[in-house]
């Protein structure tokens, strides 16, 4: 068994259900400390974070990942214990195998092999881990970034180990992500008897036209890198459960995943403009889940692309689709951010798995990226 597979198995064995790290970061910290890294354990609320650095000066290349995992779901639906890494032919099965303990293991082993060759460094290496990526992401990477900003410590290049690959490792990388903005709208009516509608105000009826308009909202992407932004209704609730009662209110949840072409403020303005065109009494609460970002700097994208080509022989497709990632907290600091990890076909599913070969190749790719950006020839 190889180093990267051994470490992946060790991490999977820790039942790190978000936000519990379950000792994963201590395992990583000990490995990194043994090769000369400075270690900072940063705990905020119930969340464990790790910031580890190697080197004295120069630009910082950082591996960014998370040690928390989502719940496994019904244990009886798994073919094996989700928290005991199980070899199954070409696969390693276990919760977090692909998302993203395999990538975290590859971070560590690639750094170990890179530094074992005693390169002359032109910069520093950082490793940033959190146990709050799968949860609300309140006390994780965003808090670490605030900590680093206070110390005037700037990440130059950030490689996020999220599972980006489609059919084989390295065929897809993310060079940006859409932002996320959500709203909860409460439309206030007057409850009453269905036989006396004149003595009530049905919020379902009064909201039907605004709802139709909201569902048609879209914002065009001007960058050429993102899908157009559309508004999606995710929840709509009203009524008492009785068929003879007009409800007193309606509650709706909406979300927009938006490109850098459209600001959160513009989305707020357009949504509230529709609501204000109608005779509605309503309350609205906005939540910004993350800002969009697009990496346009060439160094990191080139290093990742060339390293993938050297290891697997193909050039990756650069995309910006999918949900959000912790890269959204790093990009606003001015860092170049690229995401590269194993295949994502089993993430969050029962019997989550990763190809053993993919982890071996990921280890090699990560090492080549380090060589490309930090080895002084």
How many other β-carbons are positioned within 10 Å of the β-carbon of residue 72? 21
Q: Which two tokens stand for residue 257?
A: 């995943």
Supply the residues annotated as catalytic.
68, 133
pLDDT at 1: 62
Question: Model confidence over 110-143: pLDDT tens digits?
Answer: 999 999 999 999 999 999 999 999 998 999 999 9
Cα–Cα distance between 195 and 188 in angstroms, integer? 20
pTM to 2 decimal places: 0.91
How many other β-carbons are positioned within 10 Å of the β-carbon of residue 194? 12
Cα–Cα distance between 352 and 81 in angstroms, integer? 11
> What's the mean pLDDT when you consider all of the chain?
96
Cα–Cα distance between 187 and 178 in angstroms, integer? 29
Residue-range domains of the chain with CATH: 3-177+292-374 (3.40.630.10), 179-290 (3.30.70.360)
User: If DSSP codes are grouped into helix, strand and coil, which group holds residue 236?
Assistant: strand
In 3D, which of 328, 332, 343, 330 has the Cα closest to residue 179?
Answer: 328
Name every residue whose Cβ is closer than 8 Å to that of residue 190 and which is 6 or more positions away in sequence.
199, 200, 201, 246, 248
Q: What is the percentage of the chain residues whose pLDDT exceeds 70?
A: 99
Question: Model confidence over 193-237: pLDDT tens digits?
Answer: 999 999 999 999 999 999 999 999 999 999 999 999 999 999 999
In 3D, which of 311, 370, 373, 334 has the Cα closest to residue 165?
Answer: 311
Question: Model confidence over 147-193: pLDDT tens digits?
Answer: 999 999 999 999 999 999 999 999 999 999 999 999 999 999 999 99
Q: Is the pLDDT confidence value at 326 over 90?
A: yes
pLDDT at 322: 85
Q: Which two tokens stand for residue 267?
A: 């989305």
- Using alpha carbons only, how large is the chain's radius of gyration in Å? 24
Name every residue whose Cβ is closer than 8 Å to that of residue 337 and which is 6 or more positions away in sequence.
158, 160, 175, 176, 293, 295, 300, 327, 330, 331
Cα–Cα distance between 62 and 370 in angstroms, integer? 10
Q: Is the pLDDT confidence value at 284 over 70?
A: yes
């Amino acid at each position: 068994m190889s180093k990267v597979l051994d470490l992946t198995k060790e991490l999977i064995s820790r039942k790190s259900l978000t936000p519990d790290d379950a000792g994963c970061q201590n395992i990583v910290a000990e490995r990194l400390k043994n090769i000369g890294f400075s270690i900072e354990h940063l705990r905020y609320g119930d969340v464990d974070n790790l910031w580890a650095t190697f080197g004295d000066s120069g630009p910082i290349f950082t591996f960014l990942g998370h040690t928390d995992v989502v719940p496994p779901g019904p244990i009886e639906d798994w073919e094996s214990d989700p928290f005991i890494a199980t070899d199954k032919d070409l696969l390693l099965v276990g919760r977090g195998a692909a998302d993203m303990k395999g990538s975290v293991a590859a971070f560590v082993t690639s750094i170990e092999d890179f530094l074992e060759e005693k390169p002359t460094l032109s910069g520093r290496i950082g490793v940033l881990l959190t146990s709050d990526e799968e949860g609300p992401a309140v006390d994780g990477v965003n808090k670490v970034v605030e900590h680093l900003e206070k110390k005037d410590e700037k990440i130059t290049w950030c490689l996020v180990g999220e599972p980006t690959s489609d059919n084989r490792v390295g065929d897809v990388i993310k060079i940006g992500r859409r932002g996320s903005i959500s709203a909860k709208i409460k439309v206030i009516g007057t409850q009453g008897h269905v036989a006396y509608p004149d003595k009530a105000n049905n919020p379902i009826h009064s909201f039907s036209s605004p709802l139709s308009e909201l569902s048609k909202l879209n914002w065009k992407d001007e960058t050429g890198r993102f899908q157009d932004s559309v508004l999606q209704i995710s929840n709509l609730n009203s009524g008492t459960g009785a068929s003879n009662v007009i409800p007193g209110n309606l509650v709706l949840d909406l979300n927009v995943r938006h490109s850098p072409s459209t600001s959160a403020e513009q989305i707020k303005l357009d949504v509230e403009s529709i609501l204000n065109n109608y005779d509605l009494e309503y309350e609205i609460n906005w939540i910004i889940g993350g800002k969009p970002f697009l990496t346009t700097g060439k160094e990191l994208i080139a290093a990742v692309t060339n390293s993938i080509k050297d290891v697997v022989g193909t050039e990756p497709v650069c995309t910006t689709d999918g949900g959000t990632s912790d890269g959204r907290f790093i990009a606003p600091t001015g860092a170049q951010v690229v995401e590269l990890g194993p295949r994502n076909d089993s993430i969050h599913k029962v019997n989550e798995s990763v190809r053993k070969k993919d982890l071996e190749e990921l280890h090699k790719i990560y090492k080549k990226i380090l060589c490309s950006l930090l080895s002084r020839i």
